[in-house]
Chain A
Amino acid sequence: MQVHKYDVVIVGAGGAGMRAAIESGQRARTAVLTKLYPTRSHTGAAQGGMCAALANVEEDNWEWHTFDTVKGGDYIVDQDAAEVMAKEAIDAVLDLEKMGLPFNRTPEGKIDQRRFGGHTRDHGKAPVRRACYAADRTGHMILQTLYQNCVKHNVEFYNEFYVLDLLMVDEEATREDGTTYTQKRVAGVVSYELATGELHIFQAKSVVFATGGAGKVFKTTSNAHTLTGDGMAIAYRHGIPLEDMEFIQFHPTGLAGLGILLSEAARGEGGILRNADGERFMERYAPTIKDLAPRDIVARSMANEVREGRGAGPNKDYVLLDLTHLEPEHIDAKLPDITEFARTYLGVEPYTEPVPVFPTCHYVMGGIPTDIEANVLQDNETRIPGLFAAGEVACVSVHGANRLGTNSLLDINVFGRRAGIYAAEYAKDADFVDLPENGEAFLVNQIESLRSAEGTEKVGELRAELQEVMDADMQVFRTEESIRRAIDKIEELRERYKNVAVQDKGKRYNLDLLEGLELGYLLDIAEAMSVAALHRPESRGGHYREDFPDRDDENWMVHSMLYRDENAETEGVKGIRFDTKDVVMTRYEPMERKY
């Protein structure tokens, strides 16, 4: 086993991780550990844009942006965090431009901006052009630009190093008021080198988690195969809470059966959703704005059509996105990528045929709780010194119950940057925490038993069953009954997981083994999502309970906090403790969310 010592270790090299690395790398000795080559991260999949109130084409300011974010998140956004994000958005965009990002330009040569769902002028009066973009490859350009700057600054990457565990110690500490509590501290991480199968310990003063989302909990998702919620699950297993895990964003238009995303722009350009009878069903659900209603509403309407038997296709399990009334030239000019996806993957010609679509799991609003300095919290307010998180893995929370389009690319830049700065600052004065004795033993054990197991269960099968049940019971509609079904299934799968075996017994590039470990994370995350969903008897943003269709500000204007706790039991599920946390309000009072 090798031990490496760095001031700062960053886990994940997506947008958030690399933005942090650029800051931290210039201030402290930094290593970036990533299970993929940096440029393979899923930030590269983002199409639409990154918003900032630059006011390059229309009057705009960061306060309006804050308001839109708060309202979009159905009011459980922490408003201090939203303010920080909206305010720093402008510099975040300009910084990217200085790093070389080729934004599209206005005729005057300024960064061009376009409209996106939920972004408005003057508190909802009219749509505003706020999203800065580089064609329909904004995420790709952000990822490339950040990587390029990491190369420039000689950031040390450990590519294809899977971080599989945190090294944490508990200390007795005293609060100002004299009460004692257990303070968690981070000593480093344990990492698995894919090429050799060796474990490496990285001792660090600061650790930044930027491991991205967990979309692979679901079958239909726009997320990459590698987005298995590693960071969230690892933290969770160490007693760090997960916040707001019930809030998952389903994007209405994923290619049916595949989940590949067709950007909102398709409907923005005039695309119409139809059911098997050819009816424009959104007229019934949202009579005024129809197909351009917010993501959660459209996704639910589509699912309802299918549920009530009006779905198209041989299995009646999708609806149709109709672009056939648009001029082919218009489609080519505005939606080239999307139409190419439809052609490549479904063999559908969007000029003449409607495209089969269905909601696809897109984004996890919840995650590891942090404050606005990206510091991870071990409960509602206590920081874990030296542990930071940013990006989709974290929950600051700027997205609340529903993320606005383009706010995530902004999130990873603003809070990625902050995480890098604060992690390096912290490392400046801090000492290394002693590595826990035999801290890697658990992992060594886990890997060895998985590798040598003669079990009868297959990783692929269990994962498929998990994804099936999550799609069926935890998607856009949830009831107590469906959630319980999901939980029961997950418990069954967790039992069977103990009997799982991997076929590849080798050491080098053993991706079979890693998929086995990733399945473990998926199960933990799926459980957390379901238990959190069960606990919230109301409908808000991405979380819709048919048995409680209304928002309940009286009782549920709070964040949910889920803890892994051996001794606890909640709603019949062993090992989990449930708690809530107040939402930070600064200036915007909750009001009904309608557009």
Chain B
Amino acid sequence: MTTTLEPTNNTAGMGEIESFTVTMQVRRYQPEFHEEAYWDTWTIEMYGTDRVLDALHKIKWEIDGTLTFRRSCAHGICGSDAMRINGVNRLACKVLLKDLDLSKPITVEPIKGLPVEKDMIVDMEPFFQSYREIMPFLIADESREPTRERLQSAEARAAFDDTTKCILCAACTSSCPVFWTDGQYFGPAAIVNAHRFIFDDRDEGGDMRLEVLNDKEGVWRCRTTFNCTEACPRGIQVTKAIAEVKQAILARNI
């Protein structure tokens, strides 16, 4: 029996951890001390496995403690740290530095379309308000609930699987050009979460949600620019979900 695997090299897996210098160009907004937003630039030494979040931490912990951003889980599941990195919306904890072009400064800005409060921190309330308005909870007639277990077929479960992955990070909504100019638009995240219930066969509130999204600021505002789909860190087919909701409204009203 062979229990020994010939190691290809001594450092199997991660090779020698390279280090490199990175220039971080960060959009700052410190309303208590400076009226206007400005750019700060730092050049720091980082390692092969480091992410943009690590670079921000390094700056915050070792150089400038006033740098402010939200973060928690550090591996892409809590949705705290959506920001604009090199002009596109990403989670800072999911972007490896070495995957970026390090010959140029890496720009970091707050996500667009929500009021900036301080550095990377934006006011998330408008975003959550839209989420709450689509009634993001299962609406089912409890009197008809079976006493023990409610059944759902595996196929029915699969119909809305994609949209259950949402972590409400707002990367999609704040990358949508319609949302940038019209902050009243419900935005892709709210539609994704409506989709999650509209296509759940256990739910009976679909009509109400379709009615909500048939609004002036609802699904029809989407111009299929696909920015949301490209920004979603969970790989949700956001534009597809929106299209399905549009069709559901059409089907219901015609």
Alpha-carbon distance A109/B148, docked complex (angstroms): 13
Contacts A45-B78, A225-B72, A278-B7; A506 near B30 (Cβ below 8 A): yes
Name the B residues within 8 Å of A210 (CB-CB). Answer: none
Shortest A114–chain B CB gap in Å is 14
Contact flags A79-113 to B (C-beta < 8 A → 1, else 0): 00000000000000010011110111111111100
Asked if B49 and A258 make an inter-chain contact with CB atoms under 8 angstroms apart, the answer reads yes
Complex CA distance for A344 and B197, rounded to whole angstroms: 31
A271 at the binding interface (Cβ < 8 Å): no
Q: Which residues does chain B contribute within 8 Å of A37, judged by CB atoms? A: 80, 124, 128, 168
From A350-358, A382-390, A438-446, the one touching the partner chain is: A350-358
Contacts of B5 in A (CB 8 A): 274, 278, 322, 354
| Per-residue A-contact encoding for B78-114, CB less than 8 Å = 1, 0 else | 1110000000000000101010000000000000000
Which one of A136-144, A365-373, A522-530 is at the B interface? A136-144
Cα A274 to Cα B5 in complex, Å, equals: 8
Name the residue of chain B whose CB is nearest to the CB of A337.
Answer: B77
A149, CB-defined interface residue at 8 Å? yes
B221 to chain A, nearest CB (A): 23
Q: Which residue of A lies closest to B5 (CB)?
A: A278
Q: Which residues of B contact A509 (CB under 8 A)?
A: 68, 117-119, 121
Is residue A127 contacting chain B, with contact meaning CB distance below 8 A?
Answer: no
Partner among A256, A461, A464 whose Cβ is within 8 Å of the Cβ of B14: A256
Alpha-carbon distance between A102 and B200 when the two chains are bound, in angstroms: 9
Residue of B nearest to A111 (CB): B149
Check B164–A345 contact: CB distance below 8 A. no
CB-CB under 8 A for A100 and B203, given A109-B152, A312-B11, A346-B13: yes
CB-defined contacts of A507 to chain B, threshold 8 Å: 32
Task: Tell me the smallest distance from the CB of A159 to a CB of chain B, in Å.
Answer: 8
Q: Taking A279-B4, A312-B11, A313-B11 as contacts, is the C-beta distance between A102 and B136 under 8 angstroms?
A: no
A45: which B residues are within 8 A, CB to CB? Answer: 73, 75, 77-78
Which B residues touch A100, using CB under 8 A?
137-138, 140, 197, 200, 202-203
In the bound assembly, the distance between CA atoms of A257 and B48 in angstroms comes to 12
Known: A45-B73, A277-B4, A283-B3. A346 touches B14 (CB 8 A): yes
Number of B residues near A (Cβ < 8 Å) is 74
Judged by a CB distance under 8 angstroms, whether A251 is at the interface is: no
- Interface flags for A137-164 (1: CB within 8 Å of B; 0: not) read 1001100100011011000000000000
| A window 247-289: CB within 8 A of B | 256-258, 260, 274, 276-280, 283
Complex contact A348–B78 (CB within 8 A): no
Chain A 44-89 interface residues, beta-carbon cutoff 8 Å to B: 44-45, 54, 56
A502 at the interface (CB under 8 A from B): yes
What residue of chain B has the Cβ atom nearest to residue A261's Cβ? B75
CA distance A115 to B148 in the complex (A): 23
Closest approach, in angstroms, between the C-beta of A508 and any C-beta of chain B?
A: 6
Residue of B nearest to A501 (CB): B65
Q: Which residue of chain A has the shortest Cβ distance to B65 in the bound complex?
A: A503
Name the contact of B60 in the complex, choosing from A36, A106, A152, A460 (C-beta under 8 A): A460
Q: How many A-B residue pairs have CB under 8 A?
A: 206
Known contacts A44-B167, A258-B49; A512 and B66 CB within 8 A of each other:
yes
Partner of A314, one of B4, B16, B32, B203: B16
Which residues of B sit under 8 angstroms from A99, Cβ to Cβ?
A: 137-138
**Chain A: which residue is nearest B4 at the CB level?**
A278
Give the distance to chain B from A85, nearest Cβ to Cβ, in Å: 20
* Complex contact B96–A320 (CB within 8 A): no
A458 at the interface (CB under 8 A from B): yes
Chain B residues with CB under 8 A of A102: 157, 160-161, 164, 200
Report yes or no: A341 in contact with B75, Cβ–Cβ below 8 A: yes
Contact of B164 among A56, A144, A355, A508 (CB under 8 A): A144
Within 8 Å CB of B13, what residues of A?
256, 312-313, 318, 320, 346, 348, 353-356
**Nearest B residue to A36, CB-CB:** B72
CB distance from A335 to the nearest CB of B (A): 16
Given contacts A314-B16, A353-B12, A460-B61, 10 further A-B contacts (CB under 8 A): A41-B78, A94-B149, A99-B137, A105-B152, A110-B151, A314-B11, A347-B96, A504-B68, A506-B32, A509-B117
What would 16 A/B residue contacts be, using CB atoms closer than 8 Å? A40-B78, A40-B79, A45-B75, A97-B149, A100-B140, A104-B154, A104-B157, A106-B154, A151-B137, A314-B17, A345-B49, A346-B14, A355-B13, A460-B61, A504-B65, A506-B118
List chain B positions with a Cβ less than 8 A from chain A.
3-7, 10-14, 16-17, 30-33, 48-49, 51, 60-62, 64-66, 68-80, 94, 96, 98, 117-119, 121, 124, 128, 132, 135-138, 140, 142, 145, 148-154, 157, 160-161, 164-168, 197, 200, 202-203
Using a CB–CB cutoff of 8 Å, the interface residues on chain A facing chain B are: 36-37, 39-42, 44-45, 54, 56, 94, 97-100, 102-111, 134-135, 137, 140-141, 144, 148-149, 151-152, 195, 224-226, 256-258, 260, 274, 276-280, 283, 312-314, 318, 320, 322, 341, 344-348, 353-356, 458-461, 464, 502-504, 506-512
Leading 10 A-B pairs by shortest Cβ distance: A460-B61, A100-B138, A503-B65, A109-B151, A278-B5, A152-B137, A148-B137, A512-B65, A506-B32, A504-B66
